[in-house]
Each structure stands twice: as C-alpha cells, then as structure tokens.
Chain A
C-alpha cells in the first residue's frame, strides 16, 4: 500500500501565553483517509495546537500547510472555508432549532427573488437529509435538536462539520459523554468519513479508543513533540510512558493487612434510608463508613449520579432520612450538607464546578468560606496559604494562584475543585466522575489521592463510568441498575463480577 497523501502539515509550531510556553516546536502531519490520534496529558498543548489549526490563536512561530500551500487560518470560520472543521467536546447543537436548521446554519439555501427570496426551508431539509443519508445516519431532520440523545446530537454535529466539504476534521474528545454503544455509532461514522478520504484528527483520553479507531498517533508532552507512531507499533504501555515521560505506578488498594484496621466495622458516618426521587431514584439505603472508599458502579442512567445529588441535597428528595454519625441530620440544601462535613465534586465541572472568572485561589477558598459564613472572613493571606498548599499538594499546573481558573486545562480545573473540598476537611467526600476528561497520569494521581484521603479517615463515595477504576480503588462496590441498587460486592471483586451484576437485570 502506498503511503497516503499528506493533507495537512504543521511544522515547528510554537505559542506562548503569559507565564506558560504552551507549545514549542510541535509537529503534526495528517494524511488523507487516516484517523490520527493526538495524545498527551492535560496541559501538553493539544488544545492549543487545535486552536491554532482552527484559527482561534495565531502561532508565534511555525508553518501550517494544507495540500502543500501555506495557510494562516484567522478564525474558525476562515479555517472552515479552507477545509478544516472541528467538533469540540462542548460544541453543541442549538436546542431550539431543528436538526436540518442546525446542519445548514449560516449557509441556508435562499429562494430566488422571483419566488420572494428568503430561506428555502424545503431545500434546507432536503440537503440535511441527503447529507445524513450519505453518512449513513438515520435521523429525522425535522426534529428539534434539543430533546435528542447526546449521541445523536454528536453525530449531527459531526455531520454539520463535514457538510462544508471538510478535508480535515478535528474531533476534540467527542466521546467523553457517550456510552459504549453510542461510541460505536460514532466510530462507524468516523470510519465512513475516513473511507471517503477525509483526514481525521482524533483527541481522546480513552486509550482503548485510540487503538480501536486510529491509524497513527502524534504524542505531545509539555508543549513539545515527542514523536509520531503507527498505532500498531506502540502499545498502550509505551504510549503512556511517552505521554508522561516516565513509567507510572498503578494505584492499587494495598493488601488488607495494610489498610487501617476495622474500616469495615467502623461506624457509619453517613447513612441514608429509603432515599428516593421520582423518575430518578427508586428508594434505597446507603451506608458510608469512616476511612472507606465506596465505589458506585453502573451504566449511564443507572441512577449513580442522581444518588449523589440527592445525598448532597442538590435535588429535593421525595423520601429518605439521612443521618450523620447516627444522628438524624437535616440536609435540605447544599449549604446544610457542607455545614455537616460533606463535600461534593460535581460531574459537570464547567457548569457546576468552577467559577471561571474567579482566580484559582478564590475557587479553592469558596467552599471553606461558605462554611465559615459571611463574617468570619478568610484574609487574603490565609486564602493564599491554603491555595498554595493545595496547589502544591495536588500538583495543579497554573501560572499563579491568581490566574482565573477558566484558563487552566480541564484536569487542573478538576484538581482545583477537589482542592476546594479538601480545604474544608470533609468527613464525607462525594466524587461524581472525577476522572472524566482528564489524562491517564492525572487519573492515577487522583486515585492515589483518593486512597490517601480514605487512609486519613475520610469516607469517600467514588462514582465513575470506568468500572476498572471503581474496582481498583473501592473497599466496597455498590452496583446500580435501572435507578435502583442492584447489588453490593466486596473489595477484590473483578470487573467481570460488576458487569454480571449489571447484566443480571437483562435475565428474566
């Protein structure tokens, strides 16, 4: 087989931001009909490189060539006109428009003036339907986009991106909110586009997905180019080592003898009885003991996140009594939960975690200050001390603690939100998908951190869609299915055992 034609080549790309050299001398070569993975830890420069390719940022140095011609994308729209389209993790459809309107947005076909001018809606729908049919997506284009499942929205977003005859398609973590079946549907689409000759750049934190769908990969580390590899030539272990620049130890529960004695028999810090909310969670009980990590496993929609939200009173419960240390506790809003020593890292950090405009210091101090109330004010010096300590302890990469948190990379934002709760010294910490969207090394650090926390006596409720993570860190595993408790497994249970509990529902 001949080596496929090079479509896009970026050479020696550098870009600095105040206090950070985000990229220095990055290389990237995309070829027609290939899926190319861009790999690297949080802060490796992946996002910056993508933003340079799509014209969001101008590079300080370097050349981008498209089909041999040097180009300077000046804006995402300009990049699109040049043939470079991007689908971002958070690029959504407009929920109040139909699928067809979304797909043709900005390029609506017009009726000739002889027929009154204006937008030709019938043509809009025809074009959208034709596009989807060509891509093998079954979707009624007259439907509103808002109510569609996330996966179908994602497919339509990709369709919109390639509808401009894109030669290069950039997919930035497109799978992070999809479940296994939905990922397969997206991969089907990616393969069809690949076969049509589109050069695809795929960014993800899921290693198995890289090996499933990609042909080649480029690895970045600290803004520098590490290398380009054929996927068949570099195994997952080598990939991770190249990304982090060192061998990483896997976080694992120490053998039973090393864990603090009696965490299994320790009294419950938090117990909930008969907790329920209509349409979200069927009545269930839960006990959380000091110094243990309780894993919550289940598929999307199993009720795992809903349970966490009810415990922290983010949603009102229909029934259920919550007790702290055996004493009935009045938890009616998050402020009550905070006062009683609970902490909660939300799943959606952009929407309900960070306050983007505030500094890292202020974001970290927020929950502790909220618990101390209005008048007992943490002085600037105290806030700085707390923030500096936690930034160091968790290895948060930021130019300064006064940097607005919105400028940090996703994984560092996540760490800062966890730091916010560690600052309150919580007795119970609920972590809802804390590892979503962060890189492998950060995941490992985070999970070791969770284990350290539990050793310090904190009760941790760990929720993750990645069953292997749950299995690795948990003392007990609570398996959820169909918005109810499906079973409980002891420490040492395997992934297969968890899956068999989940799958049990499908047997009559």
Chain B
C-alpha cells in the first residue's frame, strides 16, 4: 500500500466513517428516498435530518462520557440523570391553563432549565467525589446513582408521567433554527465548545496524561483530582442537557423510561468512535460518528419494518457486525483467510 493511502486508512476515524457510510448506503438501498432532503414549512425535512435530530441527545451524553472514559473512568448513571433532569424541568414548568386559555409556566422557563442543569451537574459531582475522594471503582460509584437516580426521579413525580403544556419549552426538542433542528444545534455547539476547550487550553494534554498514566500525571504536578471531578461534573451536566432535549421532544417527563439504557448506547458510541476504554486516547469526532452509527441503525430497523419483538436481537446482531468490522484483529483474520498463502516473515510489529 502507498504510504499516503496507508496514512489515510490508519487514521483513527477511518473505520468509524466507513461504517457510517456503509450503513447510510444500505439504508438508501432499502429506502430509495432515504437521502432525499426537502424544504418544508421553513426547515429541512428528510430521514437524514430525522436521524441527526434523534441522535442529538445521545451525542450530548456520549461527549460527556468520552471525557470520563478518557480519564480512565466510566459513568453508568447518565440514563438516570437524564430522567432526573427531565423530571425537574417538567415539574418546575408544569403548565396550567390561565383564565384566558393561555398556558402559563409555574416558574420562569430559564429558572426551570437552570435548576434542572444544576441538579444534573450536582449528580455528576457526586459521582466524581465517590471516585476521586472515596476511591471507589467508577462502575460501582456510578451504579449507585444509576439505581438511586431513577428512584429519586420516580419519587419526584410520584410515579406519574408529568405532562408539560407550556409551548416555549418544546423548542428544545422540536424546534428548528435556520432550517435545522434546535437539538442538533445544541449538540453541535457542545461539541465545538468542548473541542475548543480541549485544544485551546491545556485541558486536552492533562486529560490524556491522566488517562495515559494517572500516577505520572500526579508526579508531574497535574491536578488530577480536580480535573477528574470536573470531568464527571461535566458528564452529569451533559446528561442534564440531554434530559431537557428528551423531555421537550415528548412534551413530558417519564421517570421510568426517560434515558432508559442510554448509558449503554453512550458507552457504545464512544467505543465505536475509536476511544480506548482503557483511557488516554480519545476522539470527540469519533464519538459523534459513533452516536450517528447507533441512531442510523435504530432508524434502519424501524424503516425495515422489523417487528418490535425481534428489534433488540436485530440491533445486537448489527452492533456485533459493526464491532467486528472495526476490530483490527478480525480484519487481519479475514485478510489471512482471503490470502491462503501468507508469508511468515515480516508484517509483524
């Protein structure tokens, strides 16, 4: 292979991008109008836009997860934090009909949103404290909030689904700005902001050194504990943002089901994107592609008309295929089978 081609194929984003492209091609084979975009009612309309819109909450959560994983952590409580944030916002906005038939918000919208985000950030901080100060294993520390968080959300709602009637809130999950979904704008700005933060300040270097060798980072004078705390807090905050988008989209908060299993999708998105679960090496762009892969898969399953009862099996089969495609070992195996008489010399590291 030519060196230039090799550099291209060895780029960390090569295989995630190929995977996404393949999925899009397969989708458009089954559904010829899949890639079609039309302009309707002042915004873009089409399956691709739909996927981008629906992938937004996952992208937001997975971006937070990327940083946590990059510092050798894990946060399996993000789904529960989505539910908490959604519940807090829905309760504070509520919505009652005034005498004129106009819907009023119980609290100002900004206050409701800020409170929901603050609660979510506090959840993240709690996780971070358990990991950094109490020295718990990340998976155990966040397991606590994963279970307790949904319980808290259910307590707050009394087990009911809280419906929101206050229309301005719906903009987050259903609105459009400059022809594109607001949720997508939120996810994209978060991505860009995070990218700038990591590349224009020393945060990226610190995160990679903590993930690469925490003890060496500490000896070099990096404030590992403080940075790790911030990263968990940010992950909680990101889950809070996702909670707002989700509840705004369905115009209600369901403590039982909001963000259900989102933590697994988020971890999957991070992995698909090429971030090492062992910490140190991470890619935000990869995570965004990973989230899009997952949402494209989900949409594909729906559009193929797969019956709901086999939905999960089909999804896991597709995830399996995608993971195999991205596994360097598996690709080597295929190459070796395809080439029956490989030379024994060379090609080893």
Binding site for B on A (CB under 8 A): 57-58, 60, 72, 74, 312, 314, 333-335, 337-339, 344, 346, 351-358, 362, 365-367, 369-378, 420
**In the complex, chain B residues whose CB is within 8 Å of the CB of A346:** 216, 219
Does B304 make an interface contact (CB < 8 A)? no
State the Cβ distance, A290 to closest chain B Cβ, in Å: 21
Q: Mark B312-348, 1 if CB is under 8 A from A, else 0.
A: 0000000000000000000000000000000011101
**In the complex, chain B residues whose CB is within 8 Å of the CB of A338:** 220-221
**In the complex, chain B residues whose CB is within 8 Å of the CB of A334:** 218-221
In the bound complex, do residue B215 and residue A373 qualify as a contact, i.e. CB atoms below 8 Å apart?
A: no
Q: Which residue of B lies closest to A348 (CB)?
A: B215
Binding site for A on B (CB under 8 A): 200-203, 205-206, 208-209, 212-213, 215-223, 280-281, 344-346, 348-349
**In the complex, chain A residues whose CB is within 8 Å of the CB of B222:** 335, 366, 370
Q: What separation, in Å, do the CA atoms of A278 and B202 have in the docked complex?
A: 37
In the bound complex, do residue B208 and residue A358 qualify as a contact, i.e. CB atoms below 8 Å apart?
A: yes
Other-chain residue from B201, B212, B220 in contact with A370 (beta carbon distance below 8 A): B220
In the bound complex, do residue A58 and residue B221 qualify as a contact, i.e. CB atoms below 8 Å apart?
A: no
In the bound complex, do residue B209 and residue A362 qualify as a contact, i.e. CB atoms below 8 Å apart?
A: yes
State the Cβ distance, A270 to closest chain B Cβ, in Å: 16
**In the complex, chain A residues whose CB is within 8 Å of the CB of B348:** 57-58, 74
Q: Which residue of A lies closest to B223 (CB)?
A: A335
In the bound complex, do residue A74 and residue B344 qualify as a contact, i.e. CB atoms below 8 Å apart?
A: yes
In the bound complex, do residue A375 and residue B220 qualify as a contact, i.e. CB atoms below 8 Å apart?
A: no
**In the complex, chain B residues whose CB is within 8 Å of the CB of A354:** 213, 216
- Complex A-B: 16 CB contacts under 8 Å: A57-B349, A60-B346, A314-B218, A314-B219, A334-B219, A351-B215, A353-B219, A355-B209, A357-B212, A358-B212, A362-B205, A366-B209, A369-B205, A370-B220, A375-B202, A420-B220
Identify which of B200, B217, B344, B345 gathers the most chain A CB atoms within 10 Å of its CB: B217
Q: Which residue of A lies closest to B197 (CB)?
A: A374
* Contact of A335 with B221 at beta-carbon distance under 8 Å, contacts A352-B215, A354-B216 already known: yes
- The 9 nearest A-B residue pairs measured at CB: A338-B221, A355-B212, A370-B221, A352-B215, A355-B213, A367-B220, A370-B222, A366-B220, A357-B212
**In the complex, chain B residues whose CB is within 8 Å of the CB of A366:** 205, 209, 217, 220, 222
Q: What separation, in Å, do the CA atoms of A356 and B216 have in the docked complex?
A: 10
State the Cβ distance, B206 to closest chain A Cβ, in Å: 7
In the bound complex, do residue A378 and residue B202 qualify as a contact, i.e. CB atoms below 8 Å apart?
A: yes
Q: Which residue of B lies closest to A75 (CB)?
A: B348
Q: Which residue of A lies closest to B203 (CB)?
A: A374
In the bound complex, do residue B201 and residue A377 qualify as a contact, i.e. CB atoms below 8 Å apart?
A: yes
Q: Which residue of B lies closest to A338 (CB)?
A: B221
Q: What separation, in Å, do the CA atoms of A60 and B347 have in the docked complex?
A: 10
* Contact of A358 with B209 at beta-carbon distance under 8 Å, contacts A366-B220, A367-B221, A377-B201 already known: yes
In the bound complex, do residue B219 and residue A352 qualify as a contact, i.e. CB atoms below 8 Å apart?
A: yes
In the bound complex, do residue B220 and residue A356 qualify as a contact, i.e. CB atoms below 8 Å apart?
A: no
**In the complex, chain A residues whose CB is within 8 Å of the CB of B215:** 351-352
Q: What separation, in Å, do the CA atoms of A342 and B280 have in the docked complex?
A: 26
**In the complex, chain B residues whose CB is within 8 Å of the CB of A372:** 202
**In the complex, chain B residues whose CB is within 8 Å of the CB of A377:** 200-202
State the Cβ distance, B234 to closest chain A Cβ, in Å: 14
**In the complex, chain A residues whose CB is within 8 Å of the CB of B200:** 377
Q: What separation, in Å, do the CA atoms of A377 and B208 have in the docked complex?
A: 15
Other-chain residue from B203, B206, B223, B281 in contact with A357 (beta carbon distance below 8 A): B281
Q: What separation, in Å, do the CA atoms of A420 and B209 have in the docked complex?
A: 14
Other-chain residue from B202, B344, B345, B346 in contact with A369 (beta carbon distance below 8 A): B202
Q: Which residue of A lies closest to B225 (CB)?
A: A333
Identify which of A57, A58, A366 gathers the most chain B CB atoms within 10 Å of its CB: A366
In the bound complex, do residue B201 and residue A353 qualify as a contact, i.e. CB atoms below 8 Å apart?
A: no
Q: Which residue of A lies closest to B215 (CB)?
A: A352
Q: What separation, in Å, do the CA atoms of A352 and B215 have in the docked complex?
A: 5
14 more CB-based (< 8 A) A-B contacts, given A353-B219, A371-B221: A57-B349, A334-B218, A335-B221, A346-B219, A352-B218, A355-B217, A355-B280, A357-B280, A366-B222, A370-B222, A370-B223, A374-B201, A374-B206, A378-B202
**In the complex, chain A residues whose CB is within 8 Å of the CB of B223:** 333, 335, 370
Other-chain residue from B203, B219, B344, B349 in contact with A344 (beta carbon distance below 8 A): B219
In the bound complex, do residue A356 and residue B217 qualify as a contact, i.e. CB atoms below 8 Å apart?
A: no
Q: Which residue of B lies closest to A342 (CB)?
A: B221
**In the complex, chain B residues whose CB is within 8 Å of the CB of A351:** 213, 215-216
Q: What separation, in Å, do the CA atoms of A58 and B349 have in the docked complex?
A: 8
Q: What separation, in Å, do the CA atoms of A346 and B213 have in the docked complex?
A: 14
Q: Which residue of B lies closest to A344 (CB)?
A: B219
Other-chain residue from B201, B221, B344 in contact with A337 (beta carbon distance below 8 A): B221
**In the complex, chain B residues whose CB is within 8 Å of the CB of A335:** 221-223
**In the complex, chain A residues whose CB is within 8 Å of the CB of B217:** 355, 366
Identify which of B208, B219, B348 gathers the most chain A CB atoms within 10 Å of its CB: B219
Q: Which residue of B lies closest to A17 (CB)?
A: B349
**In the complex, chain B residues whose CB is within 8 Å of the CB of A314:** 218-219
Q: What separation, in Å, do the CA atoms of A362 and B201 have in the docked complex?
A: 14
Q: What separation, in Å, do the CA atoms of A376 and B203 have in the docked complex?
A: 11
Q: What separation, in Å, do the CA atoms of A171 and B282 have in the docked complex?
A: 37
